[in-house]
Structures are given as C-alpha cells and as structure tokens.
A and B are shown apart, each in its own frame.
Chain A
Amino acid sequence: MTDDLEQLKKVMDVSTPGPDASRRAANMKLAQKNFAALQASSALDRPNVRRGLLARVTKGAKSMLNALSHRGLLTATTAVAAVALVVILPQTRDYVPKPTSWKQVQSDVPQNVVAEAEDALGNSEPGFEAPVLAELAAPLSEPRNQRATDQKSVVDGNALTADEGGSTPPELSRLHGLSLERDTEAFATAETNPLKITADDPVSTFSIDVDTASYSIVRSSLLNGKLPPRDAVRIEEMINYFPYAYPLPDGQAPFRPSITVSPTPWNDGTQLVHVAIQGTTPVVEERPPLNLVFLIDTSGSMQDANKLPLLKKSFRLMLAELRPEDQVSIVTYAGSAGQVLEPTFASDQGKILAALQRLEAGGSTAGQAGLQQAYEVAETMSAEGEVTRVLLATDGDFNVGMADPEALRDFIARKRDSGTYLSVLGFGRGNLDDEVMQTLAQNGNGQASYIDTLSEARKILVDQLTGALFPIANDVKIQVEFNPAQIAEYRLIGYETRSLRREDFANDKVDAGDIGAGHSVTAIYEVTPVGSEAIRNQPLRYADSVVSDASEEIGYLKLRFKAPGSEESQLIQEPIFSGQGDVTEDIGFSYAIAGFGQLLRRGEYLNGWSYDEAIALASTSRGDDTFGYRSEAVTLMRLAQSLER
C-alpha cells in the first residue's frame, strides 16, 4: 500500500492551481507602488505624525463610545470602539466590555487607523486603488509599530519579526485572557439576563424582536448532528419563530397585548409572566403596491445547493404571490455590483424568472457597493403610498466591501428614515455572519431570517409575505415595572441583545424593533413572589424592607410604539395581576420552547428540568399545527436530547 501522505502530496500538487496571470501582474504593480510610496513617506517627520495620529484615534474612539447607546443591536460597533480604546489605552481595559466579535474588530480597527494614517502621513495619493483587503494589509503595521514605540510599558516587544502587520496583536489577546477562536461563525451574543432583585431594580426595558434566524440556525445545527453554539441560541427568536393565535386587536389598534401569569413548569416556587403581542392582519386585497429590490449575493461561496439554487426557488415561490402592480428589481453583487433586472412589474413574470435564472455564483463579495446600488434602484421605484423594501439575500460573506460597519449602519438607518426598509435573508451555514445580518436588519427596520429549506422559504417569504413586508407599528418598546411588595426577584427570558436603557423607553429618538402585519411577539418573565422558597437572594440586613402597599398588582406593563411614518410614539399600559389569563396551548408551547432554549444555553435556572419534560410539554401543547412547525420542534428536542447524552 502506498503511503497515504505521499498520495496526498501528489494529489495536492496536481490540483494546486497556478496564480492568475493578470492578478499577478496587478499585484506586482501594487506592491511596487506601495514600496515607492513608503520610501517617499519615510522622509517625513515621524514622531510628530505619531503623536497626531494617536491623539486623533483616541479621541475618535472616545467620542464614538460616547455616542453609542448600550443597546445590544450595536454590539458590533461597540466592540469595535471598545477594542480601539484598548489599543490606545490599554490601562483602562478593565472598563471595556468584553468584545463579542473579534472578527469584526480585526477588520475594523486597522481600517480606521489606516485612513487616518494615510492622511497623517501626508500621503497625497487618493489611497490605494486595490480592493479593501489590500488596503488593509499595507499600512497595518503602522499603528502597531507606533504602539510599540509610544507605549513600551504595554507591549512586551517580543512580537515575532515576521508577524508585523499580520495578525491579531498577541498582546491584546493575552491582556484579555481571551482565547481567540480561529474560526467561528460570528454570533451576536450577550450573557444570559441575570436574576434581578425587584427592590433594587424594579424596571425592565427592552425592544421587541421579530427575528427568527436563531431558530433556523439551531435547527440546522441539530439536523447536522451538532448541538448549536450556546451563543447562537437566542430564546426570544426561537419562541417568536412559531405562529400563535393570540387574541386579535379590536378596531383600529395595530396590535393588542395580552398577559398571562401562571406557574413555571421548571420551578414550583416561581411564576411566568407571559406577554403576548398580536399584530393586526390587514386584508391583503387592500395592501399598497410593493416595490421590492432583491439584492442577491452571487459571490463564489453562494454556489452551494443550499444557497443560490435554494434562493432562486424561494423567490419563485414568492413571485407567485405578488400582484401585477407590484414592482421587482434585481441587483447582484460579486466582485462588482450590477443591476440584472430593471424595475419590472410583477405581471411580467417571464422576464423576472429569466433574470433570476441567469444568476450565477462567482467572484468575491462587494457587499457595500451592492447595497448602495440596491438603494439607488429602490429610490427610483418608490412612489407615494407604496411600500419599498430591499431584500438582501446572502450567505453573510461580506469580506470585501464590509469596510466600515459603523458607516454602513448609518447608511442603512438613513435610508430607513427616508422610507426604504431592509430585510436580510441568510442562506447556507458556515460563512454566515449572524451579527452582521442582525445589525443590518435591525437598522433597516427589517427582519433577519435564515433560510435552510424550501419550506422555511415558504414560511418566511410566502406565509409571512404580508408581515415581513408591511410594518404596522415601528419602534415597539416594552417596559415592565415589578411591584417589590409582591415580587422579590424577576428575570427576562431571552432578549439579551435587545435590552434598552430605562430612560430610552420614552425617548422617541431611540430605535427599536418593528411589528409587521400579523406578527406576534412573545416575551416571558420568570418572577419569584415575595415569600417564595425559590428566592435566591436573601434580604440584606441593613437594607430598607419593602412596605407592603396592599396593591395586588404584581407589575405594570407599558408599551410604546409609533404608527408607521409617525415620529411620535403612543403608549399602551396595563397592570399585571397574579393568576391573570388562562394557559392556552399556544402559551404552553411557548413555555416549552423557552425551556428548550434554556436547555440549549445550559440554563442555570431550570432546576433539573430536562428534555423529557420539554418534549412532554411541547407535545401536549401542539394544537392544530397546520404547517407542522411544532412537530418539527419536538423532533429537534429529541435530537438535542440524544446529542446531549
């Protein structure tokens, strides 16, 4: 038998391609140009430049941090700012929140610095002409060298000689004690919401979340025989994945909250406060014309069967649901962005299908350019009284052009304010940058969905065509105040990435989630009544004891939203009482999913409650389950259970 290694070597030799000749020539030229530029600039007075640059970067990072609110939806940018600060002021690292996405950071920190370094060096050239990746690499070593010289106390100076400008500063990772994972999908993460003591912190504020991507990711993981990464599990998105028949709003109200308080399946000493919000379903005949711009990622990584081909099938499903007066346009991005279908009325199905059919994957991803072009097209389509939306379909591979998430976020937010919304459809596993998807969709007032099967495509694009595409209420925020005389402790299950500051509840400038037509949103609190044996925090000796005020309210729900197009929010409020409402099958099922999510996140509040109980609860709460979503969830629970063993 021949040596496997020898054979591998042979195959590798045969299959290793040669470099592309034209790129080789271009790259050689680029290198020489950079070489010349560097020689020219090294004559400048460097120490001065360094001081200027450092000062500027520090200032930038600080003001960026100041400008940011604490909302989870900014995690990406916050992490960027945080690391920028660490780079400059390592002494303050203890105050810096744990970055959630190193990968993002990697591409951004140097990028910001690069731009400054360029003009700081008095480089009169308009930057490098090469794509972003190339720009990145060139002056990367600058800031690191500067740090090394200016802050000797921090850098231990043993950086490898060849490492300059290459990889993560090793000092940084050591400083944080973080292990840099070599390859992970990036997930928007946050620590599980902690148990709060009502007397200390009675108010809980968060933005609603109608995304469902997390459930699809969980499903895809489990079906592949792997437990999903803990951070990929966002419980509220799992719960909100399922359709529930909550009570419909009466009259003109866009939605209706209903509250149920019942015993907790996994803890005898606590109760669950179930807040369900049901959006109204406008009659589909009356909907305004739609303008849809499909922005389709056709980069090389999209050619897998579960990406572009699935996407084509999905869009075909959706096309059948459109009206003749709706307009569709297709913009692709890969290498360079391009419009492959001019705005076309949905009545001309043949033309649309032909354009869709012509799409082929190849090239790298120029996300930002594509997005800009899609918005330009969208603007030409929009007219008074119509709904305009960009639907970005991608596997999340924004490697080229995702230059500055901060700027991109602002760009999308500006477009949102001018009336064009953005939804993100994720395809395929592996490349998916969940955090980027989340950030884009949240800032575009859209939904981030993950499509792994054709039936999922049907659910997202067809069943929810109305919901995903017609917002009925914007910036929906929820605030619950608990009564310390009744409730000793509480915690919000899920919504970790959506928490808002208390004062932002009434601040109409602060963005939050939107509810589409027919959407329902569920939020669940676990509360521990005063006197319960399940109280985890024993009272303090010197704290004021709460005087019972005889009120039977256990809490008070406040809900703010804006009617679409309105700048001013409206307030809905109602008290919460113990034992309020009845536990329907819908509510029981949402509890089962909440428990399932916590099991996947290795929840610490479950008291030994296990998959067996979750499966039992979900099975008995299945209800009609017309589309089989709930049965599928039970299957996934069984899968997770067997993987857990």
Chain B
Amino acid sequence: MRMETSDEDLAQAAIEGDAEAFAALLERHYDRIFRLAYRLTGREEQAEDITQDICAGLPSKIAGFQARSKFTTWLYRVVVNAVEDTRRRQATRSRAALGWGDVEQMRRAEAAEVAEAVEWLQTAMRLLPLDLQETLALTLEDEMTHAQAGEVLGVSEGTVSWRLAEIRKRLRAMRQEELAQ
C-alpha cells in the first residue's frame, strides 16, 4: 500500500528507479506544487507553466533529495527556485514579474465584496518586497513552521519570524493609510 508510505520512503524508492513510487509521490504533491507556485507568482497561467516545468525536471532532480530534510521542505525549495528562475528568464520587472496585479484575478472574483478583498490582497502583495512575499506565500501553507520555511528559503527561523512581524507591520500601515483616505 503505497499511500501509507512516507514521502521520504517514496522519494528514496524513486531515486532507486521505482517509477510507481515516483508517480505516487508526484500525485500526492502535485496540487501543493501548483498552489505554492500560484501564491508566489499571483498568476494562474504562470503557475501552470511553472508546475509543468517542475514536473518535467523532477525525475532528474529527485536524485538530489537527501533524507536529511523533509521531502516537502525539499520540494518547496524546488518550487521557490523554479519561480525565481522563471522570473529571471522572462526578463520581467516588478509588477508584472510579481504578477500580483493581474486582471485575471478580478474576473474570478464575482461578488463585489470578494472582489474588494482580492483587490486588497493584490495591493498588499504588490507592496511587499520579494523576500517578504516568498516568506508569506510559504508560511501560508498548512503545517509550515517558521523553522521549515526558513530551511526552504535558506534563512534562519528567526529571520522568518522577523519577516512575518515586518509583514504585519506593513499590512497595518497599509490599512491605516486606507482609513486615512
């Protein structure tokens, strides 16, 4: 029964050439990859492309997974790298590269109040510098501890906590600015 096997064991089996284990592992995490890619880019289209990118490359990349860390930690790192890579490759800048601000979001949000909330989210994401955006997107994942996010981003747990405090501060400032207007 594959489904009960841990991620790490599946990964190990995949490294040893078990195609079935590889498929099961990807099946299990596909949605997660897409979700994080989306939250990092804010663009559905781009998130789909990046996910495809990752799927194509994962077979050769998985050999680099070492059981020292959790599989998901490793996988999130792959996603973060792929997103950064796409950004560079596209030679895009700020707004567009970050994606948060794309009109496609607005179309999805039909109800007016949802639209308003989504707009607020976009503004918020756009206001944050990239490192804070990344940190935020990661910590929004369920069960992601500050320590794990730090491991993915290659920074210390303290830095993640500090960044989150910074994000809170900026959100608050943004809120106050809105109220003032």
Binding site for B on A (CB under 8 A): 3-5, 7-9, 11-20, 23-24, 26-28, 30-32, 34-39, 101-104, 106-107, 128, 130-131, 133-142, 160-168, 180, 182-186, 300-301, 303-304, 363-364, 397, 399-400, 429-431, 433, 435-436
**Could you tell me if A431 and B61 are in contact, using CB atoms closer than 8 angstroms?**
no
- The residues of B that contact A435 with a CB separation of less than 8 Å are 91
The docked-state distance in angstroms from the alpha carbon of A160 to that of B39 is 23
Residue from B56, B60, B86, B104 within 8 A of A30 (CB atoms): B56
Docked-complex contact A9 and B140, CB < 8 angstroms: yes
A8 and B123 alpha carbons, distance in the complex (Å):
11
- Complex Cα distance, B28 from A24, in Å, reads 12
B residues less than 8 Å from A166 (CB atoms) = 61, 78, 81-82, 84-85
Are A180 and B88 in contact (CB-based, < 8 A)?
yes
CB <8 Å contact, B22 and A32: yes
15 A-B residue pairings within 8 Å (CB atoms): A11-B118, A12-B140, A15-B117, A16-B35, A28-B55, A39-B17, A135-B56, A141-B57, A141-B64, A142-B60, A162-B74, A164-B60, A168-B88, A397-B90, A399-B89
Most A CB atoms within 10 A — which of B52, B77, B86?
A: B52
How many angstroms from the CA of A429 to the CA of B23 in the assembled complex? 41
- Are B88 and A102 in contact (CB-based, < 8 A)? yes
Main secondary structure of the interface of B (DSSP, over half): helix
Interface core residue of B14, B86, B130 (most chain A CB under 10 Å):
B86
State whether B85 touches A164 (Cβ < 8 A): no
CA distance A101 to B93 in the complex (A): 13
B30 at the interface (CB under 8 A from A): yes
Select A11's contact among B75, B121, B136, B168, beta carbons within 8 Å: B121
| Chain A min CB distance to B101 (Å) | 9
Bound-complex Cα distance A436 to B96 (A): 17
* Interchain CA distance A590-B9 in the complex, whole Å: 70
14 additional A-B pairs beyond A19-B35, A185-B91, A433-B91, beta carbons within 8 Å, are A8-B136, A14-B114, A19-B48, A24-B34, A30-B56, A31-B59, A35-B22, A106-B85, A162-B65, A180-B88, A184-B93, A303-B104, A304-B103, A364-B45
Q: Scan residues 95-120 of chain B and give those whose CB is less than 8 A from a CB of chain A.
A: 95-98, 102-105, 108-109, 114, 117-118, 120
B87 interface hit (Cβ, 8 Å): yes
Give the total of B residues in contact with A, Cβ under 8 Å: 77
Asked, given contacts A16-B38, A103-B88, A106-B85, whether A300 binds B60 with beta carbons under 8 Å apart, the answer is no
A431 near B90: Cβ-Cβ < 8 Å = yes
**Which residues of B sit under 8 angstroms from A27, Cβ to Cβ?**
30, 51-52, 55-56
How many angstroms between the C-alpha atoms of A9 and B129 in the bound complex?
17
Q: How far is the CB of A77 from chain B (nearest CB, A)?
A: 15
Q: Which of A134, A168, A436 lies in contact with B53, CB distance below 8 A?
A: A134
**B147 near A: Cβ within 8 Å?**
no
CB of B167 closer than 8 Å to a CB of A: yes
User: Bound complex: CA of A14 vs CA of B117, how far in Å?
Assistant: 10
Binding site for A on B (CB under 8 A): 14, 17, 19, 22-23, 26-27, 30-31, 34-35, 38-39, 43-45, 47-49, 51-61, 64-66, 74-75, 77-78, 81-82, 84-98, 102-105, 108-109, 114, 117-118, 120-121, 124, 130, 136, 140, 154, 164, 167-168, 171-172, 174-175
Q: A20-B48, A399-B90 are in contact. Are A36 and B168 (CB under 8 A)?
A: no
- Give Cα distance in the complex from A168 to B89, angstroms: 10
Residues in B neighbouring A4, C-beta threshold 8 A: 168, 171-172, 174-175
A36 pairs with B19, CB closer than 8 A: yes
**When chains A and B are docked, how far (Å) is the Cα of A3 from the Cα of B172?**
9
Residue picked from A134, A186, A435, A436, most chain B C-beta under 10 Å: A134
* Contact A34–B56 (Cβ < 8 Å): yes
Which residues on A sit within 8 Å (CB–CB) of B53? Answer: 133-134, 136-137
Q: Which residues of A sit under 8 angstroms from B58, Cβ to Cβ?
A: 31, 34-35
- Given the known interface contacts A20-B48, A182-B87, A430-B94, the answer about A31 and B26 at a Cβ–Cβ threshold of 8 Å is yes
A18 proximity list for chain B (CB < 8 A): 31, 34
Q: Cβ of B88 and Cβ of A182 under 8 Å apart? A: yes
The reply to whether A5 and B96 form a contact with Cβ atoms under 8 Å apart is no
Complex alpha-carbon distance, A185 and B49, angstroms? 20
Give Cα A103–Cα B121 distance, bound, in whole angstroms. 28
- A107 CB to nearest chain B CB (Å): 4
Complex CA–CA separation, A442 to B43 (angstroms): 32
- Of all chain A residues, the one with the shortest Cβ separation from B84 is A167
In whole angstroms, what is the CA distance A133 to B37 when docked?
A: 15
**Chain B contacts for A141, CB-based, 8 A:** 57, 60-61, 64
B23 touches A163 (CB 8 A): no
Residues of A within 8 Å of B117, CB to CB, are: 7, 11, 14-15
Residues of B within 8 A of A17 (CB): 38, 44, 108
B118 partner residues in chain A, CB cutoff 8 A: 11, 15
Q: Are B30 and A19 in contact (CB under 8 A)?
A: yes
